[in-house]
Chain A
Amino acid sequence: MIRAINVAFRELRSYLLDKGDLAFSLLLPIAIFALIYGAFGGSGNFHGTASIVNADKGIYSVQLLDQLMLIDTIDVQLLTSEEANSKLEGSDLLLVVYIPEDFSSRISNGETAELVFKQRGNGGTEGQIVAGIIRGAAEQINRNIEVEIRVNQLVADTSITPVNVAETVQKFIAREQESPLIKTKERIVGSSPDPVNQFLPGIITMFVLFSITLGAQTIVEERKKGTLERLLTTRLTRSELFAGKFLSGVLRAFVQTLILLILSYIVFQLFTPISFLEILVIALIFSAAASALGMVIAAISRTPDQAIWISVFFTNVCVMLSGTFFTIPETGVFNILSKFSINTYANEAFVSLITEGQSLAGLGTEIFTILGVTIAALILARLIFRAVPGGK
């Protein structure tokens, strides 16, 4: 076994000495992480734009706009009527809110004023959410005005002026907004359902799968250098050679995945320390499976080109069948085929841990399947290698 470890360390040493290879493989997880962050970073909560046409010049439309500008989740974009119509026509916008000319005057006269939501179709998901937020703001103003009217009615026979009432009511409302009697708080169960969570499992499985290509080339490279035949004349057994190659493949894949996970942990704070360790366990097991599958391709291949093309084909098939980036139907041929992809099990395990907040205890099927593939692939690789010169 010590010779297998020596083979693994020799391999890792060559990897560390090759600055190009090292830079590529260590920068790759950082680059992938940067892409994830660039695409999804900080966009965990909803953020939309309220496109508004304000034809009113009165106090209440200004109040409504002020109220909307205080809301973090939306930006307010003021448009002219022509601009709004043009954008709606061209489907550049799906929803525009019109504040009519008589909005403030009608409210001042105690009449009902209308906000008009002009939309294409259902206004789109963002439009519907923005409309809901604007309705909430309008209701808030509505309540404030009602309070003012009621208080004015109650103090009608006193020396208190409507201006005093308005100021006092505004002061109380401001205080209520600062420290409301009923607060709302979001508490996420498991982990946050943001896009990073949705895509990270697939990216990790893809990443680990790269090690198939690396593993597939190790034997061919030894053959090309002439060192394979030389090693086969030493006391190193064929099984030790395989164990060493397998071990180095696992370590390389795991270290790269570890970098990606640590960055995700630090920057996105996706996992708890426990779930982080559980994800590492799955990453390690899956790295072992990928490295073992790489060994099968290594045993088959006779040239570096063969090794690369077979592993690229295999990796793509695994990714396509696994639902890494799209949902697999519950039934049907595609569902059956997906069971033949190692990615499916790894992806399910990562999704359960990252997105659904489950623990390793509930992942028996996935873990045993991946371990089973690892053992079967190692045995198969060794058997195939027996058929090549010096392989026995």
Chain B
Amino acid sequence: MIETFVTVSHMQKSFNGHKAVDDVSFSIAKGEIFGLLGPNGAGKTTTIRILSTVLEADHGEAVVGGHTIGKESAAVRELIGVCPQELAFYPDLSAMDNLVFFGRMAGLNSSEAKEQATNNLRMMGLLERAKGKVDKYSGGMKRRVNLAIALMGRPKLLFLDEPTVGIDPQSRNNIYETIVDLKKNGMTVLYTTHYMEEADRICDRVAIMDGGRIIVMDTPYNLKSQIGPVDKTSLEDVFLKYTGRSLRD
């Protein structure tokens, strides 16, 4: 029987009368990589911010690992790791110091934090430059540090908000492989991206959002098969079919 790790029911969030998230419901199974796709302003990041306890939903309920967000937010924070869209670390510190610091914030003691930081940096191919100031890193290296920090404390649920935006193919590939490895180890992942081939490659299921609502949700294979022959249809075709071709800002 599939164990559900995240359940979101009729979640709503408005900013100044604008509905950023509108009656969104979905669930994520334990160990699943769930993709949230959508154009700019679709509500993906707001959904992640609510699920990571930064924002409070106006309506609806979200449960992570059996803990209700809002009522048991502290317990939820013990289960999650967040890799935000923007780089979020201390550029004046080294990668090692950043990871150790966020490890301490994730509840690790000093030696555990150092050990996990070393492992994470090795996994991300950054161990050799671990002592260098992050400020001096390339864009791809910074992205990998951003992800490595999210893995501190070995979270059960990982939020990845466009983790591969604007980086070189090697760094992107490293991040893909890391995510696939994490899934093998049983980690649940909520993944947002603009790269459709990326979602097709690593996500077990995807939900396409637009205007704050989930328009369609299924496996990439099923979604593609709904609009044409699977071998001749891409997830991008599915995306454009459901969200339209008009430009979004």
Contact = CB atoms under 8 A, between A and B. Distances in A.
B56 interface: yes
Contact of B54 (A225, A236, A389): A389
Contact of A234 (B77, B86, B97): B77
B53 A233 contact: yes
Given A6-B105, A226-B84, A230-B84, A235 B54 contact: no
A236 B91 CA distance: 20
A14 interface: yes
A10 B97 CA distance: 9
A230 B82 contact: yes
A114 interface: no
Nearest to B108: A235
Contact of B87 (A18, A226, A389, A392): A226
Contact of B90 (A10, A233, A237): A10
A236 B105 contact: yes
Given A390-B53, A390-B54, A6 B104 contact: yes
A17 B54 CA distance: 30
A2 B78 CA distance: 16
Nearest to A241: B105
B88 interface: yes
Chain A interface, DSSP helix/strand/loop, else mixed: helix
A9 to B, nearest CB: 9
Nearest to B56: A392
A234 B54 CA distance: 10
B6 interface: no
A227 B97 CA distance: 14
Given A3-B105, A234-B106, A390-B55, A226 B90 contact: no
B93 interface: yes
Contacts of A389: 49, 54-55
Interface centre among A225, A229, A230 (most CB of B within 10 A): A230
B92 interface: yes
The list of the 8 closest CB pairs from A to B, nearest first, reads A226-B88, A234-B105, A390-B54, A230-B88, A233-B52, A233-B82, A226-B86, A235-B107
